[in-house]
Copies of this chain bind each other. A is one copy, B any other.
Amino acid sequence: MIVYASLVHKLPVGVLGASGYAGRELCALIARHPGVELAFASANERRGERAVLGGREVTFVAPDDARLDRAALVFSALPHGASSAWVTRAREAGAKVVDLSADLRPGSGSTMAAPYGLTELEREAVQSADVVANPGCYPTAVLLALLPLLVRGLVAPGGTISVVAASGVTGAGFTPRHDLLFAEVAEDYRPYAVGNTHRHLAEMTAVMRRLGSDADLIFTPHLLPVARGILATITVPLAAPLADVLAPWREQYAGEPFIEVVDSVPALRDVVRRNVVRITAKPVAGVRSPTLLVVSAIDNLVKGAAGQALQNGNLLLGLEETAGLPA
């Protein structure tokens, strides 16, 4: 026999910038969350419009009409540059904040006190914070893959880590651009920001430096003809061969609910619509210097954005870290 007790209280949370892909994903996750409920969803250009997100109807409001003061927590999915001012407003209204923009992240130059919400790295700092800088999608996939090597000093000193990553088109946002039209993206695949010019690079490098690594990083993103998902294929020169290749990840992430260290090779299909990162590493045969090939995959909208934001939000609100998150 099954008995569900009825829900007594849900904590009110708001979403700024709710009509983009990350914002809508957040609203959908909140709709199914057992402990929070949507207080408002702002979308300036679509204010007054309705949408069904996670099975619940939402009416978008103008940001200025968002009752920040009624939210225990505000998620800002506003564009880079526009977000930090709203973080301040939400804080002044008494709400805690998870900022999904790049405004407060490492490498941004921001001086606002906000731990970096790569939860598995900064869990304690997040738990005691008022504002969290939610990581970028690519940095989430790359840093969680590299973290066990970096903190153990296993990367060859002075070595160069080469990351080739590929993302589904929702990573480019819900912007109507010619190059994101179906007929342009289907049957295509292409790199962009070639030569280390992507804005996520500073975020990744800053975190690597904090972790004591001096490795160089080359990051080459690609646009995939899929809606969701990021897969990073990472070549790492090692200081020395590893006897047990997966040991650093298994140790680092023991007990982590959202990290899957696997023997098989991750694919987008394994992770879409889930708040997980899936990681493997393989030694590279036939080369003189010990080298690892590390592969990680996430859903860019879940673990790479809205899911991780909610994971951090759960911690800020004192809820179970896993509440409402699809693992």
Judge whether A188 is part of the interface by a CB distance below 8 angstroms: yes
- Expressed in whole angstroms, the Cα–Cα distance for A2 and B323 within the complex equals 11
- Count residues on chain A whose CB falls below 8 Å from chain B CBs: 77
How many Å from the CB of A275 to the closest CB on chain B? 12
- Expressed in whole angstroms, the Cα–Cα distance for A304 and B181 within the complex equals 21
What are the residues of chain B within 8 A of A226 when measuring CB–CB? 186-189, 225
Q: Which residue of B lies closest to A9 (CB)?
A: B1
Contact check, A189 vs B268: say whether CB atoms are below 8 A apart: yes
For A291, give its contact among B160, B164, B222, B229 (CB under 8 Å): B160
Q: Which of A56-83 contact B (CB under 8 A)?
A: none
Contact check, B287 vs A160: say whether CB atoms are below 8 A apart: yes
How many Å from the CB of A77 to the closest CB on chain B? 16
Contact check, A35 vs B2: say whether CB atoms are below 8 A apart: yes
Contact check, A174 vs B178: say whether CB atoms are below 8 A apart: yes
- Expressed in whole angstroms, the Cα–Cα distance for A210 and B280 within the complex equals 34
For A177, give its contact among B2, B176, B186, B192 (CB under 8 Å): B176
0 or 1 for each of A198-239: is its CB under 8 Å from B? (1 = yes): 000100010000000000111010101111110101010100
Contact check, B218 vs A291: say whether CB atoms are below 8 A apart: yes
Judge whether A55 is part of the interface by a CB distance below 8 angstroms: yes
Contact check, A268 vs B187: say whether CB atoms are below 8 A apart: yes
- A86-94, A127-135, A165-173: which lies at the B interface? A165-173
Contact check, A227 vs B186: say whether CB atoms are below 8 A apart: yes
What are the residues of chain B within 8 A of A3 when measuring CB–CB? 5
Contact check, B4 vs A164: say whether CB atoms are below 8 A apart: no
Contact check, B183 vs A269: say whether CB atoms are below 8 A apart: no
For A194, give its contact among B178, B188, B192, B295 (CB under 8 Å): B295
0 or 1 for each of A226-256: is its CB under 8 Å from B? (1 = yes): 1111010101010000000000000000000
For A282, give its contact among B177, B186, B195 (CB under 8 Å): B195
What are the residues of chain B within 8 A of A220 when measuring CB–CB? 233, 235, 293
Task: Choose among A34, A182, A295 the residue with the greatest number of B CB atoms under 10 Å from its CB.
Answer: A182
Contact check, B166 vs A189: say whether CB atoms are below 8 A apart: yes
Contact check, A181 vs B180: say whether CB atoms are below 8 A apart: yes
Contact check, B267 vs A188: say whether CB atoms are below 8 A apart: yes
Judge whether A16 is part of the interface by a CB distance below 8 angstroms: no
- Expressed in whole angstroms, the Cα–Cα distance for A201 and B169 within the complex equals 31
Q: Which residue of B lies closest to A280 (CB)?
A: B194
Contact check, A181 vs B182: say whether CB atoms are below 8 A apart: yes
Q: Which of A272-327 contact B (CB under 8 A)?
A: 272, 280, 282-289, 291, 293, 295, 327
Known contacts A174-B178, A195-B285, A216-B288; 15 additional CB pairs below 8 A are: A2-B5, A2-B35, A4-B5, A5-B5, A158-B288, A160-B287, A160-B291, A169-B182, A180-B182, A182-B186, A184-B269, A192-B265, A194-B265, A196-B286, A216-B286
30 A-B pairs with C-beta separation under 8 A: A1-B9, A160-B237, A162-B162, A169-B181, A180-B181, A180-B182, A182-B184, A183-B228, A184-B269, A186-B186, A186-B227, A187-B187, A188-B268, A189-B268, A190-B231, A190-B267, A190-B268, A192-B265, A195-B283, A195-B285, A195-B293, A205-B286, A216-B286, A216-B289, A217-B286, A217-B287, A218-B291, A218-B293, A224-B225, A225-B225
